[in-house]
């Protein structure tokens, strides 16, 4: 019983520290062209309302982040979402008329569920995902 209490206290303390670090690392608001989010032992949701979205930096550790870009407009030249994480997950929701490309390095998976490139115009807005992860998943939902 004593071990269970000790483990519960350690996990609770780690979660609290993770929330404090996530709050300190947070940059940008939902309407900003760039933002940063950190999720440690927790989850976060971001709904970008930017009229000129350029970049997002996301760090996950035993946590997850959902980024909803369905109401955002990409900056001229496109945008990038940089994902770094260990044992976490990131879900990115995009409009169906965006071209999405991605690079995944590490141990994990990336699912780009988007409109086939051949069905998009040459000048379609382009979002690039740059993921460096360990045992993490990245999902893009482009059916919006």
**Is the pLDDT assigned to residue 13 strictly greater than 60?**
no
φ, ψ at 59 (rounded to 5°): -125, 125
Q: How many CB atoms lie within 10 A of CB 70?
A: 15
122 SS3 class: coil
* pLDDT tens digits, 68-80: 999 999 999 999 9
Compare 83 and 118 and report the one with higher pLDDT: 83
Q: What is the mean pLDDT of residues 57-77?
A: 95
pTM of the model: 0.82
Rg of the chain taking only CA atoms, in angstroms: 17
Of 57, 20, 68, which Cα lies nearest the Cα of 40? 20
Q: How many CA atoms lie within 13 A of 128 on its CB side?
A: 8
Q: What is the mean pLDDT of residues 132-136?
A: 90
Cβ contacts of 124 within 8 Å, gap of 6 or more: 97, 98, 99
pLDDT in the model for residue 104: 85
Q: How many CA atoms lie within 13 A of 86 on its CB side?
A: 1
């Amino acid at each position: 019983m004593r071990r269970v209490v000790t483990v519960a206290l350690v996990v609770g303390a780690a979660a609290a520290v993770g929330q404090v670090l996530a709050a300190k690392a947070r940059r940008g608001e939902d309407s900003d062209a760039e933002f940063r989010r950190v999720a440690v032992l927790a989850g976060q949701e971001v709904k970008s309302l930017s009229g000129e979205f350029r970049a997002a930096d996301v760090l996950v550790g035993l946590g997850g982040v959902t980024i909803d870009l369905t109401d955002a407009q990409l900056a001229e030249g496109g945008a990038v979402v940089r994902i770094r994480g260990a044992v976490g997950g990131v879900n990115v929701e995009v409009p169906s008329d965006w071209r999405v490309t991605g690079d995944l390095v590490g141990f994990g998976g990336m699912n780009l569920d988007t409109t086939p490139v051949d069905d998009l115009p040459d000048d379609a807005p382009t979002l690039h995902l740059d993921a460096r992860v360990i045992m993490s998943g990245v999902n893009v939902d482009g059916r919006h």
